[in-house]
Structure 1
């Protein structure tokens, strides 16, 4: 079992990266759903003893520009979003079927928005997420599964969306030697907010391509896309982001990931310009 912990578990230390760095904040500041996943995010084991993962994400996003309805970059409000996600995950393989894996997650967002020009600041704990994931391995080098999470509207008044949400998506991973691709694709359903607005369904996909060039060093690049339909007077919106970064596999049970991400095309959406850090610990 120690050999597995030093190998396969090390590769999944980011543990089902359910990301909502800004889904807890409404409007054009919202990031693409699940855009915090890293390479090997869904390289998940089966037939294993239970273990735990803690992950801390942090993002600094500059809102100097946004995308208008025509897709042009125009001036934003100039604010800076500093956000985090604190995530605990419990992994286990059930006795009734050792060929599948299960996980339960609890995620608490921390959000702060600073606008130096306007002299304003808002922040606090965002709406927490909780839910399950299940997966199996069709081959020794691949993983296929599903995850579903509930967003509970109990966050701080200044950063809560005030509505219930469900995030459900398929997840996948494939490895070929030192190369691997991991990703997801799904939707976000939202209930009615306290102001009477019920947002449209969001469709998204996120993919990461990593290459383990050394034991402790894994560069990667990412592609993120989402689409929101028009509803309740809000126009349809979409965004396509690209990013690049590196994972530092510092210890067998820990890793640190650094990434820069930006929007290359979109409409009625935020213009991503963010630095992202992730620390993961497995025990």
Structure 2
């Protein structure tokens, strides 16, 4: 396991990952759920003193393309979306079992959407997210855990909030092999009924993978692969379903660690395959501070 402070820098990124997918659910679905994770996302410690983390995410999404029902990339309305995610996390080890770790967090999304074709825009606070994660270390260089979050439907309706509650639950794991690092997750998003659309969104499956190589104690380039598939929406009255959609994205980025308790991650991601889904074309930033 890494030294405590660098490990905490990885830890601070671990639990809020869903915000990138759920917090940005304002314009036509673009980014894959939990695609905000980076290297060491789940490289988590055990048997540690309680500590806190603040994370600020920023995503810039160019939404002028979508995947049609035939899997072709088509032009759509020129939409630009900026999503900020402000997150506070508290980490602790239960006294009854110091070989386990726990974390509780609260995330507040800030969303801005602009349509260049219609010259319209909207901004506001998205649906807040809160949840819990727990984990243990099967070996000194590996981590296995479970996380579950609720996104509450109380956000600004102008940017797509305040209608459907969501639950995201997933397994996550991490393996450190010398300078090579691998962190990943796989899980589901469950949705409540939409009163506005008189329909229930279909269950969504997602998985996210990051492989990095530590050049030194400061710089770590990495590659990213994300995938999600959502079942079709079901009309409660007729039982009819809208076609399901999916997308696979690939990305490249670099993580910078400095001062022992801070990190900055930069990543570009682009959709490489999809169907009935927004096409990802995004620049993603993440700043993390541990105390």
Superposition map of 1:255-266 within 5 A:
255-266=263-274
Q: Secondary structure at the match of 1:21?
A: helix
Output one character per residue of 1:179-218: Cα deviation in whole Å (capped at 9) or x when no partner: 1100110000000112122100000000101111111100
Query: Could you tell me how far 1:61 is from its partner in structure 2?
Result: 0.5
Question: Contact conserved, 1:108 with 1:127, CA < 8 A, in 2?
Answer: yes
State the TM-score, normalized to the length of structure 1.
0.96
Q: Which residue of structure 2 lines up, in the alignment, with residue 135 of structure 1?
A: 135
Superposition map of 1:225-244 within 5 A:
225-232=227-234, 233-244=241-252
1-structure distance, mates of 2:130, 2:3: 27
Q: Which residue of structure 1 lines up, in the alignment, with residue 201 of structure 2?
A: 199
Worse overlay, 86-95 or 188-197: 188-197
Q: Which residue of structure 2 lines up, in the alignment, with residue 41 of structure 1?
A: 41
1-structure distance, mates of 2:10, 2:21: 26
Worse overlay, 267-276 or 5-14: 5-14
Query: Could you tell me how far 1:114 is from its partner in structure 2?
Result: 0.5
State the TM-score, normalized to the length of structure 2.
0.93
Question: Contact conserved, 2:68 with 2:275, CA < 8 A, in 1?
Answer: yes
Output one character per residue of 1:234-283: Cα deviation in whole Å (capped at 9) or x when no partner: 21100000000000112200000000000000100111100010000000
RMSD: 1.4
1:14–1:21 Cα change, 3 Å: closer
1:197–1:265 Cα change, 3 Å: same
What number of residue pairs does the alignment pair up?
A: 281
Q: Secondary structure at the match of 1:23?
A: helix
2-structure distance, mates of 1:92, 1:13: 12
Q: Which residue of structure 1 lines up, in the alignment, with residue 169 of structure 2?
A: 168
1:26–1:11 Cα change, 3 Å: closer
2-structure distance, mates of 1:226, 1:27: 17
Question: Contact conserved, 2:4 with 2:45, CA < 8 A, in 1?
Answer: no
Question: Contact conserved, 2:19 with 2:107, CA < 8 A, in 1?
Answer: no
